[in-house]
Amino acid sequence: MIVYDMRCGNGHVFEEWFTSLGDYDSKAEEGLACPECGDTAVTKALSAPRVNGGATEPAGAPCGLPACGMGGCQLMNGG
Ligand SMILES: [Zn+2]
């Protein structure tokens, strides 16, 4: 199964499940409708692949001290 985030012309975003890429093509050709408002101007919303987790790691890997993540790391400050 493939799940896509779809967006209608009124900005509603909803999930649509497809059994295959061909299934998506045929349904898109028939015309998908928004479950909220019935709008058929539905496009595939660009979205990143779903990842479990949520919290993103800070870019610069800290040295491991709690103070480092708060900007008070002596090593990072050249101290
Ligand atoms: Zn809608």
How confident is the model over 14-68, as pLDDT tens digits? Answer: 999 999 999 999 998 888 999 999 999 999 987 655 555 555 555 555 677 677 6
Q: What Cα–Cα distance (Å) separates residue 20 from each residue in 17, 26, 50, 67?
A: 9, 10, 18, 49
SS3 18: strand
Single out the residue of 31, 51, 60 nearest to residue 43, CA to CA.
31
Task: Compute, in angstroms, the gap from residue 41 CA to the centroid of ligand 1.
Answer: 9
Q: How would you classify residue 62: left for phi > 0, otherwise alpha for psi between -120 and 50, otherwise beta?
A: beta
Task: Compute, in angstroms, the gap from residue 2 CA to the centroid of ligand 1.
Answer: 21
Task: Compute, in angstroms, the gap from residue 15 CA to the centroid of ligand 1.
Answer: 12
Task: Compute, in angstroms, the gap from residue 51 CA to the centroid of ligand 1.
Answer: 25
Task: Compute, in angstroms, the gap from residue 23 CA to the centroid of ligand 1.
Answer: 21
Q: Where are the domains of the chain?
A: 1-47
pTM metric for this prediction: 0.54
Q: What is the pLDDT of residue 28?
A: 87
